[in-house]
Amino acid sequence: MEQTSKTQKKKEALSLQALGEELVKLPKEQIKDIDLPAEIHDAVMFAKTLKKHGALRRQLQYIGTLMRRCDTEPIREALRQLEQGNYRKALEFREMERWRDELIAGNKALIEEILTRCPAADRQKLTQLIRNAEKEQLNNKPPRASRLLFRYLKEIRTG
């Protein structure tokens, strides 16, 4: 039988506490999506209400203690999935920004690419939004039409 050292036990306890801290930092909607044991879920939701640093620290230690009693791998996997989802959303957002900027700059070939990639896209509406954004940029007006173009690109991309 292999005995774990005191240092190893402390490291494990701290890693479980850090996992609990990650859960506390998540928005309530995302916490609901993770399949947590009821006791841990309640402790995490309570920790979100705490304002004083000492109380929060003690609650995080308590969450770490609760985590020792359950299998944490599904929780870690759920957090990885959330992280990857956020990364994917950020990439899509940057791509739509790039599309908008290139369309306003006059990249007509991109219109065809968008129309083939997004079957919900309406050529007439897209070209009208691009034209409005170009005029707006030429006249140094606030980017209202540019925002409308971005929203439309987002709508057709997800729709």
> What pLDDT score does 118 carry?
85
Q: Which CATH superfamily is domain 86-158 in?
A: PSPTO4464-like domains (1.10.60.30)
Whether 2 has a pLDDT exceeding 80, the answer reads no
Task: Give the pLDDT confidence of 98-117 residue by residue, as tens digits.
Answer: 999 999 998 889 989 988 88
| 112 touches 102 (CB < 8 A) | no
Question: How far is the C-alpha of 108 from the C-alpha of 145, rounded, in Å?
Answer: 18
The boundaries of every CATH 1.10.60.30 domain in the chain are: 86-158
Tell me the C-alpha distance between 67 and 99, whole Å.
45
**In this predicted structure, what is the pLDDT of residue 89?**
84
In this prediction, residue 142 carries a pLDDT of 86
The rounded distance, in Å, linking the Cα atoms of 19 and 54 is 18
Residue 76, Cα to own-chain centre: how many angstroms? Answer: 16
Is the CA virtual torsion 24, 27, 28, 34 positive or negative? negative
The predicted structure's pLDDT at residue 1? 56
Q: Residues 22-50: what's their mean pLDDT?
A: 91
Q: Would the pTM of this model clear 0.85, i.e. be above it?
A: no
Is the pLDDT at 34 greater than 80? The verdict is yes
CB 101 within 8 A of CB 149: no
Distance CA 42, CA 5 (A): 31
Domain 7-70 has CATH 1.10.60: yes
Q: Which two tokens stand for residue 66?
A: 């609760």
For residues 74 and 12, give the distance between their C-alpha atoms in angstroms, rounded to a whole number.
17
- What is the mean pLDDT of the segment spanning 81-100? 88
